[in-house]
A and B are shown apart, each in its own frame.
Chain A
Amino acid sequence: MELKALILVGAPVANRVPVEVMAGVPFACVDVLGTTVLERIAQQLKAAGIKRLALIRSADPEARSHTESSIHKAGFDSIAETGENFWQSAEEAFEQFRRSGTDLVLILNVGPYVELDYEEVIQHHINKRCRMTSVVAADGEALGTFVVDASRRGDATTLFRSGLQKVRDDCERFVAKGYVNLLHSASDFRRLAIDGLLERNAVRPIGKEVKPGIWVGHGAQIHRKARILAPAFIGARSKIRAASLITRNSVIEHDAEVDCGTVVENSTILPYTYVGAGLDVMHSVVGFRRISHLVREVDVEIHDEKLVGVSPANTLFRTLGSTAAFFVVLPRRVLRDLWAQVCKVRRVPLPESQAAPAKDLAVPDVNEPASGQEVGEFPANFAVVRRYGEH
């Protein structure tokens, strides 16, 4: 039996909260503990024996550059980029599968992250001898995963034209018993990372566990004066500068940089993100020049490179940038030190008469009680005068 998978990313699903994106990039294409949800799902499918994978993604120009590397790493056989006619492309891909002699097509809308035994789902579909099987959560919510007989083109068309909302009456249901994260919001995205660090799901950090609960990716640079509290993940080639603190389930993804003295608490720093010096990043997802604050439930665009910036993806550009910054900072620093020294030389010491208190001035003895008055906590001649307003 020939099986193929049709994976949909950034699908415009109707009657739902806005598509799960951050700065136009679907959460499924954003790294979680070293790699994307999309890559992890592709690996799971290949492990289940589904070798042929086709991808349909929405051609959002902003998202395209960020999702390119993860899609290539996942190893899809064909990639179709679509604009408004997303579902039409999906129909065409299904039709191609049918013509090439495929028996079953697994349709996955990669919005939610679902840990499924795909072999079990397919076996369930075969045993029930149904035309279509829909995977649902324990509460009955559809998870956007379907197994369809390739010969049932009409069923697939109904499904695609309704934006994965309508299925024919005789659709079989398979209840997913594993971990489910709908990835609707930045909070869900963050929860996925935390659950991975706490080993509540199968999302394992890509790196070496250098201390209990602390995973460090290949080539990560952690300053010896930086402090990292478990559980935490430091991605490959990321930089943690001096006196910074990474704590409470924080995740620093690959090629990110946390500058000196910054505290990252219960947050995720996305790949290629620069976080400036001396900042407090708390309960947030930071990346793509944005901060999604999870407690305040607000998404803030940051234009100031001193606070949050984006490092170039290319290593050469990054090295050149660092070198240029060094040659800009160095002369400025030297000039500032020279100026400070000049100012120090110019400082004229105060004459002795001004530096020392006047000897002639009679200092009243505040401890001595005024005649005829009792002394309480304060001396009787002690007064506080403070003017308020113009009165």
Chain B
Amino acid sequence: MSTDAVAAIPGDTLRERIVDDLRSAIGDALLDSLVKPGDDVWVRVRTDSWRATGLALRSLGFDYFCFLSAIDWMPSPFGKGEDDPTAPAPERDDTIKQGYAGGETRMQLLARLVHPTLHVGVNVKCDVPDSEPVVESWIPVFAGANWHERETHEMFGIGFAGHPDLRNMYLPSDFEGHPLRKDFPLLARIVKPWPGIVDVEPLPGGSDDEEGDAE
């Protein structure tokens, strides 16, 4: 696409074209997509074609590797860490509801690639199977994925097949647990919970409480 042609296309047509190009590249491995006109585009692909998606996007010109991480969609059983430790734990809704471009599993991988000349990015998601959380590594596609995958493995417990050296990025090697999973508690908050909103500062220039909803 020449930059002149880009200037003539409004935002969403460009992003719709990205989704179409990707679909023609990987076929029915593209499970779902969402285009927010003028804003951003999300695609979700099948887990077994995770690396193929990376290659396809790279051949479409998305050379810039922004980041790779994961999202745990389970609502936290600890809430906001404001529970009274002496009282019984309150009932909480624990339905797993994924976000844009859908999903079927508790954890999803999220990566972002950017096209350097068109200056448009694409968010790529894929489901991580609950029973055996392993996906293919993106290192053959983007060398920079090395560190990101190590961090995701450490924080979520997702394995990356084909990663040469999957050890902890940040935490000491004897750390137990995967911190960014929602069922990993912040112990300091359980022992001494945060008291919640205790005082609210009035806004400058008149306070309009349209939905003044104090907890």
User: Are A and B interaction partners?
Assistant: no
Residues of B whose CB lies within 8 Å of any CB of A are: none
